[in-house]
Amino acid sequence: MIGVDDRDGIRTITLTRPETGNVLNAALVAELARAVAGCEAADGPKVLVLRGGAQVFCAGGDFQAAAQGEELDPAILYDLWSRLACGPFVSVAVVSGRVTAGGVGLAAACDLVLADDSASFTLSELLFGLYPACVLPFLIRRVGAQRGHYMTLSTQAVGAEQALAWGLADAVESTVDGLLRKHLLRLRHLDKAAVGRYKLYRAELDGVIDGARTLALESNRRMFADPSIRSGIARYVAEGKFPWED
């Protein structure tokens, strides 16, 4: 489900199932967690680059699995994002195409988000009676509470330029590979121990991720235990219809 390439102190992780939307299921998250953990050692990679496909970065949670009663443990996903946000390496999301629901959390957890003009970010959870409990602590660190609130309630896509203006993306160019190369020229020379110390300081400074963990996980579990929500997800998977549609 992922490809891993190590060279010159940089680990590139590529999500390799664009036909599924690179959805976040238990198997994918476990593979990602192992690959990210490999960057935490003192002699591990200094930079972690996370890539999706050309049309979709990550479409969020796996509704097919959820419809079959196989919900992903939110603690595993939250802890993966925490590692990206706080681990002793520089995490860089390279984004093209659609980023939806939990995919927004995956990108927002990274230290840097580099995007091309095709990138769009959408919190679609409320369309299914859900809300982005685990995403918001990571998103709010980037865009602030009201913009996270707007994205949640509107369920509208935020394009690349708007994402840049809001801080959800850190840089946008028409060709994201060139943008990545420019950033790696300096990132590869940073001292890993110094990066680790700085990121621990930043995590303690804002306190958002650790402080929100318990509430986010409890909220997520309550939502997915609701029979009406589970039924709506199953109907969407089977018929492609939103809960309000006849």
- Strand-strand pairing, 171-172 and 112-115: parallel
Is 130 strand, coil or helix? coil
pLDDT of residue 1: 79
pLDDT of residue 196: 97
Pick from 7-11, 78-82, 114-118, 237-241: least confident: 237-241
pLDDT of residue 71: 79
**What tens digit of pLDDT does each residue of 29-48 get?**
999 999 999 999 999 999 99
The answer to whether the CB of 90 falls within 8 A of the CB of 51 is: no
161 included as an active-site residue: no
The stretch 80-89 carries a mean pLDDT of 97
**What tens digit of pLDDT does each residue of 175-186 get?**
999 999 999 999
Q: Which of 71, 111, 125, 170 is catalytic?
A: 125
- Strand-strand pairing, 2-7 and 10-15: antiparallel
Average pLDDT, the chain: 95
The answer to whether the CB of 57 falls within 8 A of the CB of 160 is: no
Q: Is the pLDDT of residue 93 over 80?
A: yes
Cβ neighbours of residue 227 closer than 8 Å, sequence gap 6 or more: none
pTM: 0.96
> Which letter does DSSP use for residue 169 in this model?
S
pLDDT of residue 67: 82
Q: Which of 62, 71, 111, 116 is catalytic?
A: 62
pLDDT of residue 124: 96
pLDDT of residue 191: 96
pLDDT above 70 covers what percent of the chain?
Answer: 100
71 included as an active-site residue: no
The answer to whether the CB of 93 falls within 8 A of the CB of 134 is: no
**What tens digit of pLDDT does each residue of 207-231 get?**
999 999 999 999 999 999 999 999 9
Q: Is the pLDDT of residue 68 over 90?
A: no
CATH number of 2-174: 3.90.226.10
The Cα–Cα gap between 36 and 221 comes to 25
The answer to whether the CB of 92 falls within 8 A of the CB of 48 is: yes
pLDDT band at 152 (very low <50, low <70, confident <90, very high): very high
Give the residue extent of every domain in the chain: 2-174
